[in-house]
Each structure stands twice: as C-alpha cells, then as structure tokens.
Amino acid sequence: MNKRLHRFFHIQEENTNIRTEVLAGLTSFMTVAYIIVVNGAILSTVGMPYEAVTIATVICCFMGCMLMALWANSPLIVVPGMGDNAFFVFTLVFSLGLTWQQALAAVFIAGIVFTLTTVTKGAIYLARSIPASMINAMTAGIGLFIAFLGLKNGGLIVANEGTFVTLGNLGEPHTLTTLLTLLIVLPLFLRNVKGNFLIGIIAGTFIGALLGIVDFSSLRDFSFSFKGYDQIFFAFDFSQIGTVNFWTAVFSLSMVIIFQNMGAQLGMLPDKAKFRKSFQANAFSVIGAGFFGCSPTTTAAESATGIAAGGRTGLTSFTTGLLFIPALFLIPLFKVIPNAAIAPVLIIVGCLMVQSLKEIPFEDFTEAFPAYLMMAIMPLSFSIANGIAFGFIAYPILKLVTGRKKEVSVTMYVIAFFFLLYFILGAI
C-alpha cells in the first residue's frame, strides 16, 4: 500500500513522506471543517433546505479534494467558499432577483466558462500575463485576509460602531482561549513539531472547555439522513437563460471564481508547475457544485495551513477529502471545536503568506500602489475577489498615466476592463 501511495503521489520526488502528508491533510481538514456547518446556514437564507445543503456541502468538499488529489496531485483543498456563498445569496438571488434554482444554473454555466479557460491555453496565458508584483500581492493579500479572519474569529478584533473595528476584550473567555492557544501553537511551530497545528486545535478545544465556551450539548444527537436531498440535487433552473439578469449573474460569477482561484493558487502552490491541472480540478468542481446543489467551490485559503504543515502532494488533499465522508456523521463533534481553537492557526499562516511582500518592488510606485491597494482591500472588504479587482484596475491606469503603457500586456488591459464592468454592473 505504501509503495502504491509513494508511486502514485510521487512522494519521494516531492521530498516528503506519507506521515507528513496525512498530518497535513488532517490539519487542513480541521481548519476548514467549519464550512460543513456554516455553508448550510448561509444558503438556507434563500430557502434552500439546511440539511440538504449540508449534505451537498460535504459531497462538494469530497469531490473537490479528490479532483485536486487524483487529477492534479496538488495539496490544495477545494470547498464551497465563504465569499462565494455570500455572492450566491446576496448578489445572484437578492440583488439580481434569481431564484436559488436559477442561481444554481448560473453556477453550472460559470463552471463551464471556468473550465474552458483551464483546458485551453487561456489559464497559462493569463498566468504569464500577470506581473510578478500582482502575484506576490495576491499572496500577501490573501495572507492578510486569513490573518484578519483569524483575529476576528478569535475575538481579538471586534466590531465597533465608531471605528468599525477595535481590539476585543482580552479577558473574555473566547479571546483568552485564542491567546492561550496561540502561546501553545507558536513554540510547536517554531520547533517544527510534527502535527503542530493539529495539536494546537485539540489543545485549544480543551482550553475552551475549561473556560466554558465549548458547548457539548450537540454531542447528544448524531442522527443523519439523506431525506430531502432530492430537493436540491439537479435542481438548477434555466428558465431565465434569455434574460439580462441571468447573464449578468453568469458574467460576474465567472470573473470572481476565475481570478479569485487563480490568485489563491498562484499564491499558495509550492510547485507552480502544478498550476494548470490544479486550476482544471477547481473548475471541474464548480460544475459539480451546480449539479449537486451548492454554491461555487473554491481553492480554500485554509489550504495554506496544510502546506505550512508540510503538505506537498495530492495525498494531503486526498486525506482531507476522505475525512469529509465520516464528517457527515460527526457534524456535532465539529460543532464542539470553538473558533478560538482554529484562529491561532490562521493568524500564523497569514504571517507566512505576508512574507511575499519582500518580492514586491516598492521603490516603483506604479508597481507598489496596485499591490498595496489589493492587499488593503482584501481584508477590509472581507473579499479576495474585490481586492484582486481593485489591484488589476489600478495597475494599467498607473502605467498609462506615467507613460509606461508598453509594460502592460493586452491581457491586463482586458482584465482591468472586465473588472471595471463587473463593478459598474454591481452598482446598477
């Protein structure tokens, strides 16, 4: 068995081992398992049955991770994205007036558009046309986004009516759990202890229990049923395919998922040679999401936790994918893990990704400002897609006004135009 795994996933060629890859997959799973519970809660606001969407979420997580593992041999994990489910609800349904069934049809077609980009030379051409400063800014921006997510989920940063955000109450049990867990994880990480993030999450859960923030009541009921899933399986509705609103939904969704995932993958992949197949796996999974009744899947920012834990091959994503199956029967167990136990991992990973800042030529303002704008907008708008859009619009504008238009590829001008159109359509 070990020999087959080594041969299939090229374990030795990637200078890793099975134990490290499995632990990395387990770490990725622990940091992203919250999506099982949260995705259904968000999508149910448009009338989709919570239990059915939870099942669809697990199926899409399994499918996306397996595509990454078996097709691309990539350590990245694919799950329904938090920004993407909000886009599905608030843009496609509430703003554009589609029913959730029609929104699923838009997801399906956007997935086809995404796939066409990846199976042609479009993806490679796009990647080569994007300046290095933009790619490094995406990495750093996603790092800041992940860090902000960790600080927010850990209670260290909270909402404030006067200043929008402020420092949380450090004596509050939730925040205290985050701080104590961070004090445990940091030394483990610095000493390169195997399974450091996973140990931290488990320790954080016990600390949370001692401080009274862990609710064990969910452990009383482990019942599970596929009843009602037929309501969302193959439920997409193409009745509005001839309307402007439907194609506005397809266009805007395609823009978001293509460039959001390109930014995430180029930013996190340890081996850029795996980009094309990883991108294809991601695209196939979006088509699957439309079939199975879910919002678009995305390359999860939490993939960085598995990579930071040593994940280099598809065995990492394969392990994560496998863990989603028993997770269907263990949803109450994952409800027990507090956000405060996961937050320190996100904070540390954010720091690792922000280090790509040193590759950005800040002495050249035409390179620095778009990068800075991208990095600032991502966490502050709580959207990776918005940050990428602002950066891509600003880059050609600055080059044009400084008489350096030849430094910008035709592709960058086209991308900037479509992102501008995306914002204009969103404002109408």
Q: Find all residues with CB under 8 Å of 421, minimum gap 6, and list them.
A: none
Residues 340-399 have pLDDT tens digits of 988 898 898 888 888 889 989 999 999 999 999 999 998 998 877 788 889 999 999 999
Indicate yes or no: pTM above 0.85: no
d(CA 324, CA 29): 8
The predicted structure's pLDDT at residue 396? 95
Q: At CA 297, angle to CA 292 and CA 299, rounded to 5? A: 150
Cα–Cα separations (whole angstroms), residue 101 to 38, 48, 97, 234, 237: 20, 9, 11, 9, 5
* Residue labelled with tokens 């992940």: 146
d(CA 289, CA 118): 17
d(CA 13, CA 172): 47
The predicted structure's pLDDT at residue 366? 96
For the chain, the structural domain boundaries read: 2-221+231-352
Does residue 11 contact residue 183 with C-beta atoms inside 8 Å?
no
The predicted structure's pLDDT at residue 100? 96
d(CA 266, CA 135): 7
Q: Find all residues with CB under 8 Å of 173, minimum gap 6, and list them.
A: 208, 211, 212, 213
Distance of CA 128 to the CA centre of its chain: 23
Q: With left for phi above 0 and alpha for psi between -120 and 50, is residue 142 left, alpha or beta?
A: alpha
The predicted structure's pLDDT at residue 332? 76
The predicted structure's pLDDT at residue 428? 66
pLDDT in tens, the chain (428 residues): 677 888 889 898 888 999 999 999 999 998 888 788 778 877 888 999 888 898 999 999 999 999 999 999 999 999 998 768 877 887 788 877 899 999 999 999 999 999 999 988 777 777 778 888 988 888 788 789 888 988 998 999 999 999 999 999 999 999 999 999 999 999 998 997 777 887 888 899 999 999 999 988 777 777 777 778 899 999 999 999 998 889 888 887 887 788 888 888 988 888 878 888 999 999 999 999 999 999 999 999 889 889 988 999 999 999 999 999 988 887 777 778 888 988 898 898 888 888 889 989 999 999 999 999 999 998 998 877 788 889 999 999 999 999 999 899 888 898 888 888 878 876 76
Class of residue 369 by CB neighbours under 10 A (exposed 0-12, middle 13-18, buried 19+): middle
Q: What percent of the chain has pLDDT over 70?
A: 99
